[in-house]
Amino acid sequence: MNPTIVERIKTAFERNGRAIELRPAVGQKTAIMKTRVIDGLHVETEEGRWKLASDSSEKSGGTGAAPDPGFVVRAALGNCLAMGYVMWAAHLGVPIEGVEVEIHADFDARGQHAVEGIPAGYSEIRYHVRIKSAAPENDVRRVVEMADKASMVGDVFRRAHTLVPQLTVVAPE
């Protein structure tokens, strides 16, 4: 991995860590994003400068123009874990040359059709991490343990969260 990039990541990680240690309120945030239906099952989500499209496959009634929400959720987990390994390796001074995360998510599609007793989500998610490094295995394991513990998206899957829906019905003009 490029030493300049590793140093930039280490500096940012440590600077941000000091900032939230000195002023905990700096680290307390609310992310706000908005999702709109474009047409049929094709949706776009925006947050700040970022935009993400999602759609369902043709066999599910969509156009397949973008990845489905399940893909996006699994990608978020894999992305967050991989990025976390890079950040923690930089912070801990553990050299790494490459990271791959493979996600295996089991689900029963009947739950998405409200079949009684079948959950709509995943029954189990497994991931296999492959890190290329000349460092001792124990150092790499420490990187993985710290990154897994601190993964925001990993936490979404590990811990139950309160989901608070609000509905506004608007009459057509």
Sheet-wide strand order for 34-39: 34-39, 42-47, 50-54
Structure confidence at residue 75 (pLDDT):
98
The C-alpha R_g of the chain, in whole angstroms, comes to 20
133: in domain? yes
145: in domain? yes
The residue segments making up the domain with residue 144 are 3-24+68-158
92: in domain? yes
What's the average model confidence in pLDDT over 73-94? Answer: 98
What average pLDDT does the structure give for the chain?
A: 96
Model confidence at 29, in pLDDT bands (50, 70, 90)? very high
CATH, residue 121:
3.30.300.20
How many structural domains does the chain have?
A: 1
93: in domain? yes
33: in domain? no
d(CA 14, CA 90): 10
137: in domain? yes
- The model's pLDDT over 33-48, given as tens digits with 9 standing for 90+, comes to 999 999 999 999 999 9
Structure confidence at residue 91 (pLDDT):
97
